Structure 1
Amino acid sequence: MQSRIPPFDELLGRCRSSAVHLEMRDSYGTNPRLESWKRGRRTNWGDRSSWWRPFHDAIADAVGRGVSVRRARVVSEPVSDYIRWEHYATEGNVIAGEEVRWLPRSRSTDLLLPGNDFWLFDGGLLRIHHFAGDGSLVEDEMRQEGALVRQCASAFEAVWQRAVPHEQYAI
């Protein structure tokens, strides 16, 4: 039996130098913000109080402490509605201080990528996400084995080097 998985904000709060996130799914289920966006609601990015969430606080706090927070997404093209919304909503991540890049899946064929999305904290602690086929989160798993950490770090960096910065990736 696995021990308690610390909440994301706690893991990021302990972070000293870097946090990287690799995402490789074209959908992560649904949520009220996605459904609202599909109905035409758009965010007023100038009114931070209307969209800022605790997640953004955690990112901004980490970046303020000097932690580099990077996210790379491997996506199919043409993109799914979910990815179209995610690209739109990423503005909040960027405002909070996160760096985000996008890699079309067709440009990742020669990369060796793990089977699951993950966060890697300070190059040594993995929080691996296990998703169901419908995109809903099944469970998270914490791992620290050196070989696995190195493989995931290498995969992230390979994607990062090839990916397009958020502001240049047109949907």
Structure 2
Amino acid sequence: MNPADQLNDLFRSFRISSWRWECQGDYAVDEAALRRWRNGQPDDPARKAPWLAYIRDITSRGVRFERVRMLTEPLTEYLRWLLEQTQSNIDAGEDIRWITESQAHELRAPDYDFYLFDDERVAIMRFGTDKLLADLEVSTDPAVVDEHRRYRDLVWPAAVRHADYYATRSP
């Protein structure tokens, strides 16, 4: 199965919580959206509308959708853009926090992205040189799940809420 389809199946099947560790400095991105940002133009609200509707729907039912994004040192262009694009996700119900690369290394956070669904399934994400999702390894093995819960439990309390980070960052 295509890894994007596999991930979409996971998004449709979790019931209680989703937690993501996001640690790449760059991901594949809508180049038109990035170009608009570079030119100082506002984002097209239609671009994220389906995702934001999905988040509003699940969080309105009490499902938690949380993520921590690692900030490279120095920040990549992608992360500078993402910092300005995140508030709409927060407004829709996501709880997004930030952690510096040096803090993540101190905590021995993994160097790969993953989702932890309902504290019972882990989806380890691997990206290709084109920055697109190339592979998704899903596990319900209790040892693998416990390991990724420990990562979450180390990183989550150390990460800074988006509003707090954004309010204090340098322009």
Q: TM-score range by the shorter chain?
A: 0.7 to 0.9
Q: C-alpha distance in 1, partners of 2:8/2:98?
A: 24
Q: C-alpha distance in 1, partners of 2:104/2:48?
A: 33
Structure 1 vs Structure 2 CA RMSD:
2.1
Match of 1:21 in 2: 20
The code of the aligned residue for 1:41 comes to Q
By how many angstroms is 1:68 displaced?
1.0
Q: C-alpha distance in 1, partners of 2:109/2:161?
A: 20
Contact 1:22 1:72 in 2 (8 A): yes
Contact 1:13 1:62 in 2 (8 A): no
Q: How much identity, in percent, do the aligned residues show? A: 30
Deviations along 1:66-94, one digit per CA (max 9) or x if unpaired, are 11111101111331110011111111211
Task: Single out whichever of 63-72 and 52-61 deviates more from structure 2.
Answer: 52-61
Q: C-alpha distance in 2, partners of 1:104/1:134?
A: 24
Deviating 4+ runs (over 6 angstroms): none
Which structure 1 segments of 5+ residues have no match?
none
Contact 1:9 1:55 in 2 (8 A): no
TM-score by length of 2: 0.84
Matches within 5 A, 1:11-160: 11-32=10-31, 33-43=33-43, 50-160=46-156
Q: How many residues align?
A: 165
Q: C-alpha distance in 2, partners of 1:78/1:115?
A: 17
In structure 2, the CA distance between the partners of 1:55 and 1:83, relative to structure 1 (3 Å rule), is same
In structure 2, the CA distance between the partners of 1:113 and 1:156, relative to structure 1 (3 Å rule), is same
Q: Which has the higher helix share?
A: 2
By how many angstroms is 1:95 displaced?
1.4
Which structure 2 segments of 5+ residues have no match?
none
TM-score by length of 1: 0.84
Task: Single out whichever of 160-169 and 55-64 deviates more from structure 2.
Answer: 55-64
In structure 2, the CA distance between the partners of 1:67 and 1:169, relative to structure 1 (3 Å rule), is same
By how many angstroms is 1:19 displaced?
0.6
Deviations along 1:14-52, one digit per CA (max 9) or x if unpaired, are 2221110110111113323223222322237xxx5x444
